[in-house]
A and B are shown apart, each in its own frame.
Chain A
Amino acid sequence: MKTTKEITTEYIWELLSEVPDPEVPAVSVVDLGVIHEVNELQNGSWDIKMTPTYTGCPATNFMALEIQSRLKKEGIHSKVDIVLSPAWTTDRISEEGKRKLKEFGITPPQEGGDVSSLFGKGPDIPCPRCESVNTRLISQFGSTACKAHYQCNDCHEPFDYFKCHK
């Protein structure tokens, strides 16, 4: 265990990068981009500013608990503040996070197109298994709030797509 002096902001970020997203355990809360700030308080405990992905995301409180218990293992006391602003967007997912998502079988958010446009064409959504863009939308709402459900027309793999959210 480190002494108080050795506990730096970088060290806290390092520990946070070991806390997995409970619903997509392949990525950490840092990869996901939900941590805004980490600050040491006067009493030596730490304040973590976290933002939810979706307002109703049931994992938000669970993530906060996971963060606190990971830090506590190193003898570090912390509190997690849930902040709304600036709002989380899928741009906050790190490149590393996107790579891990794909490895896990989830297509990361794709650029281009307008999600709100009813008749316009959105971006191509590649299959995470065979890379084909010959895929079809099964449902805009998948197994969690942040994912849509697709199927590949070439290799027939059903897969999750991490919806673009910005």
Chain B
Amino acid sequence: MTKQEALFEFLLRKADDSLILGHRLSEWCGHGPILEEDIALTNIALDLIGQATELYKYAAEVEGKGRTEDDLAFLRLEKEYKNVLLVEQPNGDFGKTIVRQFFFDQFENLLFQSLTESKDEHLAAIASKTILEIRYHLKHSSEWMIRLGDGTEESHERVQDSVNDLARFIDVLFFQDEVDEILIQEGIIPDVKKLRAEFDKNIDEVLSEATLHLPKENWQREGGRKGIHSEHLGYLLTELQYMQRAYPGMEW
């Protein structure tokens, strides 16, 4: 695998994470528990889709085969999407959406902070731009973790159930293979293994404030980065890709 191929694959993985989670959050549009949260979740969706656009654009450029960001976002099959399993999980109740976002934001915050120092200038520019947005997302999801976890008996129970359910998708955020090894060697991406201790500490800090805890039995799932997905992604893509499938090449 060449450096160029590795970079393309890495950009695609991160773009897919942002696109799929952005799409999931956009499903809340008009369904938020309160107006402010309806607006907040769709604001975050907009940021994520904006980030995905920048990453896809750059991926298309690196690939150099004449594909555009739209081709990458809309015209691939399920197994060609390389997002982590966490982001494709259904919204569930509001608490579950927050838990999913919280795990993701904690990881993104550390990853993109490191990427601002990437030796790849374009990637560093994207990271410098997006880290500012990610910090607001993280603050939002962390505050809600505390409010729900340390809230009523019911909110506590429901959000703890979601923590128990989604904790099995944490390790996979730190997935590494040949792609990562090549890029770490080149100083383009950080070795995420070295971010794990800080990630765990940051998660613990909020969970303990929220009177929540990670489950003891924490059997981990994997697959997303290799294109093996849960049943949920196919349904999501059906909706995401509908317009381009029905009216190929459509623009507005």
Chain A residues with CB under 8 Å of chain B are 52, 54-58, 84-89, 115-118, 138-143, 145, 149, 163, 165-166
| Number of residue pairs spanning A and B whose beta carbons lie under 8 angstroms apart | 80
**Residues of B contacting A56 with CB < 8 Å?**
46-51, 53
**Residues of A contacting B49 with CB < 8 Å?**
56
Inter-chain contact B139/A55, CB cutoff 8 Å: no
The secondary-structure label for the interface of chain A is: loop
**What is the chain B residue whose CB lies nearest that of A147?**
B43
- Other-chain residue from A115, A139, A166 in contact with B39 (beta carbon distance below 8 A): A139
> B132 on the interface (CB 8 Å rule)?
yes
> B179 on the interface (CB 8 Å rule)?
no
Closest chain-A Cβ to B30's Cβ sits at a distance in Å of 16
Inter-chain contact B140/A115, CB cutoff 8 Å: no
Inter-chain contact B138/A84, CB cutoff 8 Å: no
- Other-chain residue from B44, B109, B206 in contact with A141 (beta carbon distance below 8 A): B44
How many Å lie between the Cα of A141 and that of B47 in the bound state?
Answer: 11
How many Å lie between the Cα of A139 and that of B139 in the bound state?
Answer: 12
**What is the chain A residue whose CB lies nearest that of B130?**
A55
Inter-chain contact A55/B142, CB cutoff 8 Å: no
How many Å lie between the Cα of A142 and that of B139 in the bound state?
Answer: 15
Chain B residues with CB under 8 Å of chain A are 36-37, 39-40, 43-44, 46-51, 53-54, 109, 121-122, 124-126, 128-130, 132-133, 135-136, 138-140, 142-143, 206
Inter-chain contact B50/A55, CB cutoff 8 Å: yes
- Other-chain residue from A84, A139, A140 in contact with B54 (beta carbon distance below 8 A): A84
**Residues of A contacting B142 with CB < 8 Å?**
118
Inter-chain contact B54/A115, CB cutoff 8 Å: no
Inter-chain contact B43/A141, CB cutoff 8 Å: yes
Inter-chain contact B125/A84, CB cutoff 8 Å: yes
**Residues of B contacting A166 with CB < 8 Å?**
132
Inter-chain contact A145/B43, CB cutoff 8 Å: yes
**What is the chain A residue whose CB lies nearest that of B206?**
A118
**Residues of A contacting B50 with CB < 8 Å?**
52, 54-57
How many Å lie between the Cα of A57 and that of B122 in the bound state?
Answer: 19
Question: With A85-B121, A116-B138, A145-B47 as given contacts, are A55 and B40 in contact (CB-CB < 8 Å)?
Answer: no
Inter-chain contact A87/B48, CB cutoff 8 Å: no
- Other-chain residue from A55, A139, A145 in contact with B129 (beta carbon distance below 8 A): A55
**Residues of B contacting A84 with CB < 8 Å?**
54, 122, 125-126, 128-129
How many Å lie between the Cα of A143 and that of B135 in the bound state?
Answer: 19
**What is the chain A residue whose CB lies nearest that of B58?**
A84
How many Å lie between the Cα of A115 and that of B46 in the bound state?
Answer: 20
Inter-chain contact B129/A140, CB cutoff 8 Å: no
Inter-chain contact A140/B40, CB cutoff 8 Å: yes
Inter-chain contact A139/B132, CB cutoff 8 Å: no
How many Å lie between the Cα of A166 and that of B116 in the bound state?
Answer: 13
**Residues of B contacting A142 with CB < 8 Å?**
39
How many Å lie between the Cα of A141 and that of B142 in the bound state?
Answer: 15
Question: With A55-B130, A87-B125 as given contacts, are A141 and B54 in contact (CB-CB < 8 Å)?
Answer: no
**Residues of B contacting A140 with CB < 8 Å?**
40, 136, 139-140
Inter-chain contact B133/A55, CB cutoff 8 Å: yes
Inter-chain contact B136/A55, CB cutoff 8 Å: no
How many Å lie between the Cα of A58 and that of B142 in the bound state?
Answer: 27
How many Å lie between the Cα of A57 and that of B132 in the bound state?
Answer: 14
